[in-house]
Amino acid sequence: MNYRKITAIFPSILLEEMERALERKGVPGMTVTRVRGLGDYRNFYTEDNLVDCARIEIFTTVEEAPRITAVIREMVEEKVGGGALVAVLPVEELLHLHGGEAVG
């Protein structure tokens, strides 16, 4: 079975709502990190121009990746009109260390 890693970086104001939307769509797990960054949007009220963002990382199957990215895209477009980055990367190996078994 092939796996993908989805990384989404988006405005932190959406974090709780994004987590709930992904859980409702059946995403079994995710890693959430609060981050700061600089890209298309800048915070001109701070010395370093960095913007507070959230990053969600999800490991999923190839088949589920488009459905999950669609949830992220719809949420960002609906709530803030853009300002997000989503990357979908191939996963060479995925180990589930709870039982020491390889799952992929």
Give the pLDDT confidence of 6-43 residue by residue, as tens digits: 999 998 999 999 999 999 999 989 999 999 887 766 65
* pLDDT greater than 90 at residue 64: yes
Select from 3.30.70.120, 3.40.50.300, 3.40.50.720, 3.40.1350.10 the CATH code of 3-102. Answer: 3.30.70.120
Residue scoring higher pLDDT (79 or 89) = 89
Please, which residues have CB within 8 angstroms of residue 16's CB and are 6 or more apart in sequence? none
What is the Cα 37 distance to its own chain's centre? 15
Strand order in the sheet with 31-37: 31-37, 51-61, 3-11, 85-91
Taking the C-alpha atoms of residue 58 and residue 82, their distance in angstroms, rounded to an integer, is 20
pLDDT of res. 99: 59
Question: What's the average model confidence in pLDDT over 91-96?
Answer: 85
pLDDT of res. 80: 83
Residue 75's pLDDT band (boundaries 50, 70, 90)? very high
Count the residues in the chain: 104
pLDDT of res. 103: 59
